[in-house]
Structure 1
Amino acid sequence: MKVGFLMQLFALLMAFARFNSAFYVYLTGGEKKCYNKELSKDTILNGKYFLEVYDSNKNEYVKPSSNEVGIVIDVEEVFDDYHRVVHQKGTSNSEFTFVALDSGEHRICFQVQSSGWIAKVKTKFDIQFEVGHDLKVLDSKQKSKQKTLQNKVNILSAKVKEIKREQDLVRERESQFRDLSESVNGNVIWWGIIQLLALGLTCLWQLKSLKGFFVKQKIL
């Protein structure tokens, strides 16, 4: 009885669990690569892939341009005489989502499509599978990345506004300092003029007093 309960519990956990697998393979030309996965009914399979082409000049795998290569994705039901349920063409860097209509083994195939000289070069194909029953859960990572990027943009925007506010404050203080300096310089000039006038009037008064003294003493 305990064994039956544990089996039911395990089946329930398997129904709500998500499985991740990521790996890469090397392909040549239009070589086709397939993966078999056992999926239960209504299971959601999400695949994210990235393709690089070999550059002999750099001796490394590089990101191709948007129109050089593409990927053809086929999903077949092995249990139903390889009935094809998905046929999709994508770019060299994209993803796909598939919902299993019936339980059983499925074959997911990828084939590189290209034209011209690049059709014969070697390619590196990175693929990541994620399996679950809730599409919202599968998209949570992508949404979290978008949210993180949005938060970073908001933080940068706030920093730019703060820098602009500080610059405005600095300009305002510079304007106030300039006005104060001009006012002080103007006051110094006027104070110098007033001192000169006072000194001139003092000299005139002293000369007049001295002349009156000389007249009284009959010196002049």
Structure 2
Amino acid sequence: MVYRCWVFILLLGLIKRYSATELTFELPDSAKECFYEEVKKNTSCTLEFQVVTGGQYDVDISLEDPKGQVLYKQVKMQFDSHTFVAQTTGIYKVCFSNQFSTFSHKLVYMDFQVGDEMPLPGMGEHATVMTQLEASAQDIHKSLNTILDYQTHHRLREAQGRKRAEDLNERVLWWSIMETLAVIMIGIGQVFVLKNFFTEKKPFGYTQMK
């Protein structure tokens, strides 16, 4: 299955001020993909994923800490979000598995956020109360981040809807072709049957007597 029409989704990996991994990748059938992120102790993390296209829009996912302990695991999930606090410092592993599918490729979106977002420059070490202008800038900054998140999810839903529409359009096309061929074959058969009805049949032995 070709995903060239979904290339624009790959542009969703944005570089933010805090550590984060945001990307969209293709998960082949009977395959498993793992991603690694270094996390410090007592750091709050959020893992979010969604299957954009492919099969029944489901995938297996697991999250492991540096010691190999499973922190989060789901089977055949379409989308979900999990927040946790790292208990140890090290490399955390997130794995997506499509091994239960033997013919269906998947397109998966993942967003792994590590830590809290850093404040705007000049506001991190504020000794006094923020001015009205600084408070407004902070609110605008939060609103813009919210808009970015909404845009990402709207693009994912739009891509998913477009893929379903294209699949439906392809099925309708093939069904129409099959119906057209069936109508043509039935028409040809009716012509031959009617032709036999109006064809004069010579009596048996007529040729011999002549």
Provide TM-score, normalisation by structure 1. Answer: 0.41
Structure with bigger gyration radius: 1
Higher percent of residues as helix: 1
Provide TM-score, normalisation by structure 2. Answer: 0.42
